[in-house]
Amino acid sequence: MPEAPKERTLVLVKPDGVRRGLVGEVVTRLERKGLTIVAARMVRLTRPIAETHYAEHRGKPFYGELVEYITSAPVLALAVEGRSAITVVRALVGATDPAKAAPGTLRGDLALAMTSNLVHASDSPASAERELALHFHDKDFVRYTRTDAEYV
């Protein structure tokens, strides 16, 4: 069977992950899976960027708290590449509600609250494209081959 195509997706280590010192844990799990980090940026999101990022949630009861929270401290924005990366990263991250996320996932192991749920990951190819363009410029993406590329 042919390999699934390579995809690129956006991951944000949210303010709780940064402030709890869990950036390394998130990056480690992505790397150990065999995914390639092709851009990284530590940044405090502005309100307009946060509102654009979460535009699909505008009007929902949790929207205000979500924007306040995501702008409250820096995030680590990552562009992550690999076979089926969008689906694979969502599986590594786990269910949106950490109380329901499976053990072994990032949220299942390391988070408990819905708003401060450690990590954001794009949920579809269209979201990945939109979110990557919001957080990165074309020149931010690097190209390299992992030394274990033949296995992953």
Binding site for ligand CMP (CB under 6 A): 57, 62, 66, 96, 114-115, 117, 120
- Cα distance between residue 55 and residue 49, in whole Å: 10
Task: Tell me which of 53, 120, 135, 137 is the catalytic residue.
Answer: 120
- Tell which residue, 120, 21, 11, has the closest CA to residue 69: 120
Q: Which residues of 23-39 are buried (b: 16+ CB within 10 A; e: fewer)?
A: bebbbebbeeeebbbbb
Considering beta carbons, is residue 130 or 146 the nearer one to ligand CMP? 130
Considering beta carbons, is residue 27 or 89 the nearer one to ligand CMP? 89
Residue 57 Cβ, how far from ligand CMP at the closest point, in Å? Answer: 6
Considering beta carbons, is residue 19 or 57 the nearer one to ligand CMP? 57
φ/ψ of residue 9, rounded to 5: -140, 165
Residue 115 Cβ, how far from ligand CMP at the closest point, in Å? Answer: 5
39 bridge partner residues: 79
81 bridge partner residues: 8, 36
Q: Is 120 a catalytic residue?
A: yes
Task: Tell me which amino acid residue 93 is.
Answer: V
Residue 69 Cβ, how far from ligand CMP at the closest point, in Å? Answer: 8
Residues with catalytic function: 120
